[in-house]
Amino acid sequence: MKNGILISAMCLILFVSKTHAGKVHDKTLADTCYTILEGFTLWQDTGYQGYMPEGVKVLQPKKKPRGRELTAEEKRENARISSYRVRVNHAIGSAKRCRIVKDECRLRKNNFVNYILHTCAALHNFRIKHKPFQY
């Protein structure tokens, strides 16, 4: 199961896409499930290689070239990008505190599987509004 998730800099989950079963590439999921408004900055990982919405500033870590090393400046920039991207992992991990997100759900009626992560994301946002993460 896979979902596309957009998270704010304050670790609030802004958007959770519909649940997709099977293997779906991150970029394909992004192209089909959501759009990002012009003027925003998108901190993305290398799974979204090539996803560049118009009018959006995309920041993505630079891969090490084959046979060479990254410069010190490129390493600093990758560390800066990673310091923001770690917030995404913290927010997803916080939503996964609810065990139902991690375990297999065999209840398929009424599209129940799609509502699991949405509900857990709402619980995460409630938790964050009352006790924000400290970075």
pLDDT reported for residue 33: 84
Distance between CA atoms of residues 6 and 120, nearest Å:
14
Q: Give the chain's mean pLDDT.
A: 86
Got the DSSP string for 23-54?
---HHHHHHHH----TT-EEE--GGGTT---T
pLDDT reported for residue 29: 83
Residue with tokens 């857990």: 120
Residue 129's pLDDT band (cuts 50, 70, 90): very high
Task: Please state the domain extents for the chain.
Answer: 5-130
109 or 126: which leads in pLDDT: 126
Distance between CA atoms of residues 22 and 127, nearest Å:
31
Q: Is the pLDDT of residue 38 over 70?
A: yes
Percent of the chain scoring above 90 in pLDDT: 24
Residue with tokens 């499930």: 33
pLDDT reported for residue 13: 92
